[in-house]
A and B are shown apart, each in its own frame.
Chain A
Amino acid sequence: MAARRFSGVISRSLSLSLRPLSSSLISQGNRCSLGREVERFSTAAALEEPITPPVRKTFPTLDPRTGEVIANVAEGDAEDIDRAVAAARRAFDEGPWPKMTAYERSRILLRFADLLDKHSDDLAALEAWNSGKPYEQALKIELPTVSRLFRYYAGWADKIHGLTVPADGPYHVQTLHEPIGVAGQIVPWNFPLLMFAWKVGPALATGNTIVLKAAEQTPLTAVYAAKLLHEAGLPPGVLNIVSGYGPTAGAALASHMDVDKIAFTGSTDTGKIVQELAAKSNLKPVTLELGGKSPFIVCEDANIDRAVELAHFALFFNQGQCCAAGSRTFVHERVYDEFVEKAKARALRRKVGDPFQKGIEQGPQIDSEQCEKILRYIKSGIESNATLECGGDRIGSKGYYIQPTVFSNVKDDMLIAQDEIFGPVQTILKFKDVDEVIKRANMTRYGLASGVFTKNIDTANKLTRGLRAGTVWVNCFDVFDAAIPFGGYKMSGIGREKGIYSLHNYLQVKAVVTALENPAWL
C-alpha cells in the first residue's frame, strides 16, 4: 500500500515534464516539495525539457560520431554529492524503502522492467547516440539484458535468507542479512545501462538506497532509466543520480563519511584510488570491477571456424571496449596460420559505420582520448615487430572510428600483449602445449575472464582449473546471464557482480545470539 502511495507522489513530481497531473494526487499537494528531489534527473536528462530555472554548472556530452555537443548536462560536484547522500541517508534511515516488505520492493523492480521494455527504443537510441555503439546492438542485446537483470533481482528481493546456526551451548543463534545502507556506485561509459543494472539491481533488491555517479562521457541513459524507476513507484531519495567527473564527484562519493558502501567499475588505476579513498575516509567496503587482458585459447582440436568467429566477437564487440575482451588470442601452432588467415578475413568483413545505420557492427570509439590511445598502441605494435595483418588506421577524419585491426606474431613481452588497449585491436599469439599456455595466460596482473576452445574434456578441465580468472567460457564467450557471477582475480577486482554472490556486496551480516532457558534441544 505504502508503495502505491509513494508511486503516486513521485510520479506527480516527475509529471511536471512528462504527463498531466492525475486527480488522485491532488490530495497529496503538501508533498510538492518532493519536486526538488527529482530535478537532478530532469535537468540532466537532455532529451526532456528542463524544469529547473537556476543556472548551474554544466558539461558537454559529445556525439562520438562527430565530436559535437549532444547536450549540456548538469555537472555534479562535491556539494551535489553531499545533497544526494543526505537524500539517500534520509531515505534509508527514515523513508519507507527498507521498511516496506520485500514483496513490495520486488514489484517496483518488476514494474520498472516493464517500463524499460516499453521504452527500449528510446533508451537504445540514447545509449547508441551517447556511446557510439550500434543501435541494433543496444536494442537487441543490451536493453533486453537490462530488463532481464531487473526481473532477476526482483526475484531475489523476497529471497534474502539468513541462517539459523548450531551453537555449542544453550543459545539460539541466527544471522540477519541486513541492507548495508547508502551505497555509492560509480559506473563506466562502455555499457552505461548494463552497468547501471549490475549495480542498482542488487542494491535495491536488498533494500539499500543509492547515489550513482554516471560516467561523464555517457550521462544520458541513467537519468532516463531513473525517471522510469520513479514512475514504477520508487520512493524519493532511494536512487539519486549525479552526473560528473571522477576527480570531483567520484572522489567526493568514495570519500564520503556517510556512504556505507561503494561499488566501482572502471580502470585498475582508478580502482586503486577509489579503494584508497574509502580506506582513508570511513573504511566503507568496496566492490571493484576493473581491467582485464583476458586470454582466448584455441586448442588444436577446436572447431576453427567457430573459434575464429567467437574470437572476433570476443575482441571486437562494443568497439573492443569491454573489460572482459578476449584481448590475447592464443592459438595452437598447428592451426595458427589457418586461424590468422580466417581472423584477418573476418576483420576485413566487419561493417564499420554510423551506429544508427542498419547492419553496422562497429561504431566509433567513445572519445578522442580513447581513440588516440588506441592508435598509439597500434603504432607500438608495429614498432615492436608484430605483423599487422589488417587495419591500423582511423577511418575518415570525423569522429572516432578505427579500422578493425589484427596483429599476428605477437610476443608476450610486447606492450600490445600486456596492456588493456580497450579498442578494436586483436593480438594473436602462438602456443605449443597446454602447460605452456596456462603459464603464459596467467602471466598478467589481470584475472578477469578467459575463453577455452577445445573438444577434449581433459583439456577443458585442465584449463578451467589452471586459469586464474573469474570467468572461464568453454566453447563460448561473453555469456552474461544474470545468474552467472562476474568479477576478477588479482588486480581485475574485488567481489562478484550478478548471481547470488552479488547480494553479499549489499548486505551486512548480523549474528544474533539469544540465551536459552531450558531448551528442548540443542
Chain B
Amino acid sequence: MAARRMSSLLSSSTTSTLLRSLGNYAGRGNGISRFSTAAALEEPITPPVTIEHIKLLINGQFVDAASGKTFPTLDPRTGQLIANVAEGDIEDVNRAVAAARKAFDEGPWPRMTAYERSKILLRFADLVEKNADEIAALEAWDNGKPYEQATSDEIPLFIRLFRYYAGWADKIHGLTIQADGPHHVQTLHEPIGVAGQIIPWNFPLLMFSWKVGPALACGNTIVLKTAEQTPLSALYVARLFHEAGLPPGVLNIVSGYGPSAGAALASHMDVDKLAFTGSTQTGKIVLGLAAKSNLKPVTLELGGKSPFIVCEDANVDEAVDLAHAALFYNQGQCCCAGSRTFVHERVYDEFVEKAKARALKRVVGDPFRKGVEQGPQVDSEQFDKILKYIKSGVDSGATLETGGQRFGSNGYYVQPTVFSNVQDDMLIAKDEIFGPVQTILKFKDINEVIRRSNATQFGLAAGVFTQNLDTANTLTRALKAGTVWVNCFDVFDAAIPFGGYKMSGHGREKGIYSLNNYLQVKAVVTHLKNPAWL
C-alpha cells in the first residue's frame, strides 16, 4: 500500500508540477520499458535542470580545490560525464574546518537566539520547496533514482525534516537536578562545536537532512563531505541555505573521496564530532581514525541485512507488495532494505509466486520517464558487485525465479531479481547486496525465525507481518534491530528514531534521540547558602 510507505508524504502540488515538467519529454520515447519486455533502452531523457554548482563551499564561498583538481561525476544511465567537480583533499578539509571553527568560536551562529536559528531553518525549507523540481532532477540525474520518487517522496521528506528540526531549535532543555546536599544542580545541553559529517550516495539529500538538521538546530557548525558519486544536490541546497540567512562558515561542503577528504575529516584534531553513514567496513575505519586522533564521539549509520517476516496469518497480497517495496525501493540501495524475506511455510509457495509476478511487473527504465519504478544502479562498481552476488546465488543452489541479468546494454541497470529456496548459509542471505535482489527464505515457527533473523552481524531494521497481537509483540521484543515495522515498512517520519543494533551502527538519527549526537552535557553545581528547600 502506497499509503503505508513514505510516499504517504506525497504532496499533490509537487506531483502536478512533476507531471507538467515531464510533459515536455513525453514524446521522446516509445512508452515505458517494463522489465518483462526487456526492451533496449532508448536515448536518455535530458534532465530538467542545469548544473550551477561544482565547487567546494567554504566559509560561504564557492571555491576551487586548493590543488585545482576535479573529479568527474557520472550519469548512471550511461556512465557518461555529468560534470567535473572540485575535488577536496586534506588541505581543503583543513580550510573548511578552520572556517567552521571560527564560525563556532567567534561567529554569530551559536550566539544568536535559538528562535533566530529556527527561522533560518524554516526559511531554508521554504526555499527548497520552491526549487523542489530542480533539486529532484539533480538528485535523480546524479544518482539514477526515479525522478518521481525524488519529487514525491524524498524532497517533501527533506523539507519536512528541516521544519521538524526548526521546531527543536528552541526546545533544547537541560535539567535541574536534586542534590544530596546544599547545592543547586543543573545541566546545560551545549552545542558540541565543529561537526564533521560524511554522507552516502544512496539518498544524498535525505542523509544531508538527517545530519545537517540536528547539528544546526543544536547550534553547531559543520563540515560535510558528500559522496564522490553524488556531489551535486548538496551544493545546490547549501546555496539556498545561505540565501535563507545562514552565516558564512556554519555549513561547509567538501566534495571528494573517502580515503583522502573523508579520512582527513575523521582524523582532524579540531573536529569535535563525527557522523558517518555508509558501509560497516568503512564505519570501522572512521571510528578507528577518530580514536587515533582526538577521540571525537562518532555516530555511525551502517549496513543491514534486515529480515522481513511474513507470518502465516498475514495478508499475503499486502505483504508481497510491501516486501517488494522493502527490497526494490531505490534500486535496492537502502541500508534498511528488507533483504531477507522470511515467509512461513504454509504461505511460502503462494508468496513466491506472487513476489515473482510483482517483480516481473516492475517498471525499469530511464529515471526521468513517468511511471518508472527502477532506474540504474549508482555506478559500475556496485553494478558488478550485484551481478557477482546473483551469480553466487545461482552457484549456491538457490532457485532463480526471475531476473538475474543486467537490463539493456547501456548504463548500470539490473533486472529485478528474485531468489527462492534461499538458505541461511548462502552468501546472498548473509551479505548486504545493495541491489534489486530479493531472497526469500522459508520458516516454520516463531522461535526459529527469531533465532535466524538475529543470526547476523547486522541489526538495523525488521519488518513483521501478522494479524496476531501476541505474535507481533513476541517478534517486536525479540528482534535485535533498531526499528521494527509491523504491517508496514520504510516509514521514515522525522520523529521516528533510526539506527542500528550490533554492527549496524552507533546512536540514533531523527527524533528526539538525534539531538544527543550534537550536544554536550555540562553539569553545573553551585554551592547554596541557607537554601529554603533541597
Residues of chain A at the chain B interface (Cβ within 8 Å): 148, 163, 165-171, 173, 175-176, 178, 260, 268, 271-273, 275-276, 278-280, 282-283, 285, 288, 290, 445, 460, 464-465, 469-476, 479, 481-487, 489-491, 493-496, 499-501, 504, 508-515
**Sampled A-B contacts (11; CB under 8 Å):** A167-B491, A271-B295, A283-B502, A465-B190, A471-B523, A471-B524, A483-B185, A493-B295, A495-B297, A511-B483, A513-B484
Q: Give CA–CA (A90, B377) in the complex, Å.
A: 43
Within 8 Å CB of B497, what residues of A? 175, 509, 511
Known: A271-B295, A508-B482, A514-B472. A472 touches B491 (CB 8 A): no
Which of B33-41, B79-87, B171-179, B229-237 has 4 or more CB atoms under 8 Å from chain A?
A: B171-179
Per-position 1/0 for B493-510, Cβ under 8 A of A = 111111101110110100
Q: How far is the CA of A167 from the CA of B4 in the complex (A)?
A: 12
A283 proximity list for chain B (CB < 8 A): 280, 283-284, 287, 300, 302, 502-503, 505-506
Q: Of the candidates B181, B488, B521, which one forms a contact with A481 in the assembled complex, judged by CB atoms under 8 Å apart? A: B181
Say yes or no: is B477 at the interface (Cβ < 8 Å to chain A).
yes
Nearest-CB distance from A103 to chain B (Å)?
A: 18
Is B257's CB within 8 Å of the partner chain A? Answer: no
Task: Flag whether B532 is at the interface (Cβ < 8 A).
Answer: no
Select one of B280, B297, B523 contacting A484, CB under 8 A: B523
Report how far A148 CA is from B178 CA in the complex, Å.
Answer: 14
Closest CB in chain B relative to A334 CB, distance in Å: 22
Which residues on B sit within 8 Å (CB–CB) of A490?
A: 272, 294-295
State how many angstroms separate the Cβ of A460 from the closest Cβ of chain B: 7
* B522 within 8 A of partner (CB): yes
In this assembly, does B61 line the interface, its C-beta being within 8 Å of a C-beta of chain A? no
Tell me whether B526 is interfacial, beta carbon within 8 Å: yes
Is there an interface contact between B291 and A282, defined as CB atoms closer than 8 Å?
no
Q: B494 to A470, Cβ gap below 8 A?
A: no
CB contact list, B467-488 vs A, under 8 A: 472, 476-477, 481-488
Instruction: Given the known inter-chain contacts A279-B291, A288-B295, A511-B496, please indicate yes or no for A481 contacting B484, CB distance below 8 A.
Output: no
Verify A166–B495 contact, CB threshold 8 A: yes
Is B183 part of the contact surface with A, judged by Cβ < 8 Å? yes
How far, in angstroms, from A59 to B398 measured CA to CA in the complex? 55
- Secondary structure at the B interface, as helix, strand, loop or mixed, is mixed
B525 touches A472 (CB 8 A): yes
B66 contacts the other chain (Cβ, under 8 Å)? no
Q: Are A513 and B491 in contact (CB under 8 A)?
A: yes
Q: Is the CB of B482 within 8 A of A509?
A: yes
In the complex, which residues of chain B have a beta carbon less than 8 angstroms from the beta carbon of A465?
Answer: 188, 190
Which residues on B sit within 8 Å (CB–CB) of A170? 3-4, 8
Mark interface residues in B196-218 (1 if CB within 8 Å of A CB, else 0).
Answer: 00000000000000000000000
Nearest 3 Cβ contacts at the A-B interface: A275-B291, A279-B287, A475-B527
Query: Are B516 and A485 within 8 A (Cβ)?
Result: no
Among B491, B493, B522, the most chain A Cβ lie within 10 Å of the Cβ of B522
Min CB–CB distance B211 → chain A (angstroms) = 18
Known: A272-B291, A471-B522, A515-B488. A168 touches B160 (CB 8 A): yes
B382 contacts the other chain (Cβ, under 8 Å)?
no
Asked if B180 is at the interface (CB within 8 A of a chain A CB), the reply is yes
Please name all residues of chain A whose beta carbon is closer than 8 Å to the beta carbon of B521 when the two chains form the complex.
470, 485, 487, 496, 501
Q: Please name the residue on chain B nearest to A260 by beta carbon.
A: B502
| Chain B residues within CB distance 8 Å of chain A | 3-4, 8-9, 160, 175, 177-181, 183, 185, 187-188, 190, 272, 280, 283-284, 287-288, 290-292, 294-295, 297, 300, 302, 457, 472, 476-477, 481-488, 491, 493-499, 501-503, 505-506, 508, 511-513, 516, 520-527
- Chain A, residue nearest B506 (CB): A285
Chain B residues whose C-beta falls within 8 Å of the C-beta of A486 in the assembled complex:
523
Q: Looking at the complex, which one of A272, A469, A476, A494 makes contact with B292 (CB distance below 8 Å)?
A: A272
A160 to B172, CA, bound (A): 21
B448 smallest CB distance to A (angstroms): 16
Report the nearest B residue to A476, measured CB to CB: B527
**Please, which residues of chain A bring their CB within 8 A of the CB of B483?**
510-513
B499 CB contacts on chain A under 8 angstroms: 509
A278 to B297, CA, bound (A): 13
Pairwise interchain contact A470-B523, C-beta atoms closer than 8 A? yes
B498, chain A: closest CB distance, angstroms: 7
**Pair A268/B295 contact, Cβ less than 8 Å:** yes
Contact B526 A489 (CB under 8 A): no
Q: A474, B520: Cβ atoms under 8 Å? A: no
Query: Do A280 and B180 have beta carbons less than 8 Å apart?
Result: no
Given A474-B527, A486-B523, 16 other A-B residues pairs in contact with their CB atoms under 8 A: A168-B9, A168-B160, A173-B495, A283-B280, A290-B295, A476-B527, A481-B177, A481-B185, A483-B180, A484-B525, A485-B187, A491-B295, A508-B482, A510-B481, A513-B485, A513-B491
Contact A513 to B486, CB < 8 A, known contacts A168-B8, A168-B493, A508-B501: yes
Asked if residues B508 and A276 are in contact (CB atoms below 8 Å), the reply is no
A169 touches B291 (CB 8 A): no
B318 to A, closest residue via Cβ: A515
Known: A167-B493, A272-B292, A279-B284. A479 touches B488 (CB 8 A): no
A282 to B500, CA, bound (A): 13
Whose C-beta in chain A lies nearest to the C-beta of B178?
A: A483
Min CB distance B129 to A, Å, is 16
Known: A176-B477, A282-B503. A169 touches B3 (CB 8 A): yes
Select A165's contact among B300, B511, B523, beta carbons within 8 Å. B511
List, in ascending order, chain B residues with CB within 8 A of A513's CB: 483-486, 488, 491, 496
Contacts of B503 in A (CB 8 A): 282-283
- Report A171 CB to chain B, min CB distance, Å: 6
The residue in chain B whose Cβ has the minimal distance to the Cβ of A282 is B503
- A372 and B496 alpha carbons, distance in the complex (Å): 54
Please give the distance in Å from A278's CB to the nearest CB on chain B.
Answer: 8
Please, how many angstroms separate the alpha-carbon atoms of A56 and B472 in the complex?
49
CA distance A178 to B480 in the complex (A): 10
A508 CA to B513 CA, complexed, in Å? 11
CB pair B484 A169 closer than 8 Å: no
Given known A-B contacts A169-B491, A276-B292, A484-B179, A472 and B482 have beta carbons under 8 A apart: no
- Inter-chain CA distance A272–B302, complex, in Å, is 22
Are B525 and A511 touching (Cβ within 8 A)? Answer: no
Query: Which of the listed residues A278, A475, A481 has the most CB atoms from chain B within 10 Å of its own CB?
Result: A481
B178 surroundings in chain A (CB, below 8 A): 483
Is the pair A460, B526 in contact by a Cβ cutoff of 8 Å? yes
Closest A-chain residue to B288, C-beta based? A279
Q: Given A283-B283, A510-B483, are A485 and B491 also a contact pair (CB < 8 Å)? A: no
B183 and A481 within 8 A (CB)? yes
Q: How far is the CA of A499 from the CA of B511 in the complex (A)?
A: 22
Residues of A within 8 A of B524 (CB): 464, 471-472, 474
Residues of A within 8 A of B8 (CB): 168-170
Contact yes or no, B295 A272, CB < 8 A: yes
Bound state CA distance, A485 and B176, in angstroms?
11
Residues of B within 8 A of A494 (CB): 295, 297
Give chain A residues whose Cβ lies under 8 Å from the Cβ of B527.
Answer: 474-476
Cα A379 to Cα B335 in complex, Å, equals 57
- With known contacts A460-B526, A470-B522, A476-B183, A511–B177 Cβ distance under 8 A: no
Contact between B526 and A276 (Cβ–Cβ < 8 Å)? no
A491: contacting residue among B180, B294, B508, B520, CB under 8 A: B294
B177 touches A499 (CB 8 A): yes
Q: How far is the CA of A148 from the CA of B513 in the complex (A)?
A: 29
